[in-house]
Amino acid sequence: MIAQRAASVRPAAPAGRAKLLVRCSGNGASSAAFHEGQKVKVVAPVKVYHSHQHPEGFDLNGLEGTLVKDVTHFKGKILSANFPYKVEFHVAGEGKLAKLLVHLAEEEIQAI
């Protein structure tokens, strides 16, 4: 009886199963199309929810801001950030302008 239990084996995976193939290109750095202090405009529909003055979300499309930092470079190393550009916006809310910092991708902004 013990020999019969040990003989049961889990079935093998199907032979036609697709293999996973991952390819990467580049080093993760941004293209350096933008520099710190540059004025940029959001050209994609981006909605952020981290502003307490806009709990329903705030659409950034068409908004102009200042590029604060390219976060792909840190202490001499190149990082592969998904949203490498840190942009500062000044938005109206509660009687004064509020500063809103957002990380954006290169295809979401254009230089002014």
Q: Give the per-residue pLDDT at 25.
A: 54
Residue 18 has pLDDT above 80, yes or no: no
Of 57, 109, 72, 107, which is closest to residue 88 (Cα–Cα)?
109
Residue 78 has pLDDT above 60, yes or no: yes
Instruction: Convert the pLDDT of each residue in 25-76 to its tens digit.
Output: 555 566 667 889 999 999 999 999 988 888 898 899 999 999 999 988 889 8
Q: Give the per-residue pLDDT at 96.
A: 82
What residue ranges define each of the domains in the chain, with the CATH number in brackets? 28-111 (2.30.30.50)
Instruction: Convert the pLDDT of each residue in 82-103 to its tens digit.
Output: 999 999 999 887 778 889 999 9
